[in-house]
Amino acid sequence: MFSYQSLPPPKTILSTAASITASALLLRTIAADLIPTNIHHYFKNLSTQLTVVIQESDGLTPNHLFESANLFLATNLPPTTLRIKIHKPEKDDQFTLTVDRNQPITDVFQTLKLKWVLRTEPIEVSGTRDSSSRSELRFFELSFHKKHKETVLNKYLPYVVKKAKEIKEEKKTVKLHTVDYSGTDYWSSVVLNHPATFETMAMDVDKKEELLEDVDMFMRRKDYYRRVGKAWKRGYLFYGPPGTGKSSLVAAMANRLKFDVYDLDLREVQCNSDLRRLLIGTKNRSILVIEDIDCNVGLQSREFEKESTNSDDDKITLSGLLNFIDGLWLSCGDERIIVLTTNHKDRLDPALLRPGRMDVHLEMSYCTYGGFKILASSYLQVKEEEKLVLFERIKELLKKVQVTPAEIAGELMKKGENVEIVLTNLIRWLETKEAESMHH
């Protein structure tokens, strides 16, 4: 049992405490004199720093955060960086920078200072003939003051992912995919090098603005589509005579949005089940194009389908196409645009054109004066005020003659680079067209 009588006298206790305090002060003085200042700071910082480890993968699936950090840091390398990695794929025009290992990279976010370092550690590769075969695991170490943990996890890292996505989209090479039954997903692809842009499109200015506004609105409405329970897709019908720029407009949309293009020729598709497989093979952020929809075989009216004894999987049917456009299959991805083109809108089944399938109907008309001015600027680098008399004559003729932008472009490419000669010959060609139309 504890007894106060077992304690030493108070004088002894005070004497012992004073001795301990003095010893502690002495040790602290000795440490301050003998241990370098930078070591002091190291141990002090060690207790306040938090390090987040971001591995390249979990062994099976890639870590999207690692990929985002790698891309983000490669575009924010400070001038003090001593080593960088660089490579150039054969088909790309630009060099690609990546982060090299063991190179500290400092970033600042909302006054917070953060340090990134790419580390590697060797790992053994199992299942190889050479038991000594080794690979490496890459991972980022992100260090910062531990009091900023919530800010880093909830704000900074999402910011890194967002910026990396923007960088990736900016650098993305747009590809054109075509049907290929020899591939695993029924598609083969090449780089889409079509130079068309909205600025160079020779079409009615008001229609162009309306289309631009609609496309941009579609891109901003992810939350809206999710809220109303609809697939994030948009359908466009481009109709008009051949040569009015329907295919070029698709390329202009792809270049603006950085969307891949999937060119679907229904004459190459054997049955409705193949149609579904082709859709599954497409990716998010893509434009699916079915050109000359009125000319594709097998798209009988739904009344005709009911009379047919063949099963839906024996051929491509209009019902199969309609289900393909607005049914279950388009709900398997996001940011999808569908474009149908036709020279004869009146030949299409009304069920194909209703809102929700083809949301926007855009008529691609014959060349207008506004379209001609865009072509003249692109092909001849000449403006209206520089050749006003010739431009006015062309304006009068375009009100009387129906010619396509493709035909005008063809005439502007003739007779060399002398602007006066080219425009004069265009006027003569238009006058000939006017005379022909009057005789007919």
Q: Is the pTM of this model over 0.75?
A: no
**Number of separate helices (H) and strands (E) present in the chain:** 16, 13
pLDDT score at 187: 87
* 289 part of a folded domain: yes
Number of domains in the chain: 3
Please name the residue ranges forming H helices in 122-232: 149-151, 157-171, 205-220, 222-228
The pLDDT tens digits of the residues spanning 168-188 come to 877 778 889 988 877 666 888
Same domain, 269 and 143: no
Same domain, 323 and 418: no
* 379 part of a folded domain: yes
* 255 part of a folded domain: yes
Over residues 140-165, mean pLDDT: 92
d(CA 133, CA 282): 37
Over residues 205-232, mean pLDDT: 89
Is the model more confident about 233 or about 25?
Answer: 233
d(CA 440, CA 435): 9
Q: Looking at residue 285, which CATH number applies to its domain?
A: 3.40.50.300
Same domain, 288 and 181: yes
Same domain, 320 and 284: yes
Same domain, 264 and 219: yes
Please state, rounded to an integer, the average pLDDT across all residues of the chain.
80
Same domain, 179 and 77: no
* 282 part of a folded domain: yes
For the cut 60, the answer to whether the pLDDT of residue 108 exceeds it is yes
Strands 187-191 and 112-124: what pairing?
Answer: unpaired
What residues pair up with 46 in beta bridges, in sequence order? Answer: none
Which H/E stretch holds residue 43?
A: helix 37-46
For the cut 90, the answer to whether the pLDDT of residue 250 exceeds it is yes
* 36 part of a folded domain: no
pLDDT score at 23: 58
Same domain, 359 and 374: no
* 422 part of a folded domain: yes
Same domain, 216 and 265: yes
Confidence of residue 214 (pLDDT cuts 50, 70, 90): very high
For the cut 80, the answer to whether the pLDDT of residue 342 exceeds it is yes
User: Which domain-ending residue is among 336, 363, 390?
Assistant: 363
Same domain, 109 and 200: no
Structural domain including 270 reads: 175-363
Same domain, 402 and 253: no
pLDDT score at 429: 92
The pLDDT tens digits of the residues spanning 13-34 come to 556 555 665 555 555 555 555 5
Strands of the sheet with 49-55, listed across from one edge = 49-55, 134-145, 112-124, 105-109
Please name the residue ranges forming H helices in 241-360: 246-257, 272-280, 302-307, 318-326, 350-353
User: Which domain-ending residue is among 345, 363, 381?
Assistant: 363
* 191 part of a folded domain: yes
pLDDT score at 300: 45
Same domain, 103 and 213: no
pLDDT score at 349: 84
Confidence of residue 322 (pLDDT cuts 50, 70, 90): confident
Confidence of residue 7 (pLDDT cuts 50, 70, 90): low
Same domain, 188 and 148: no
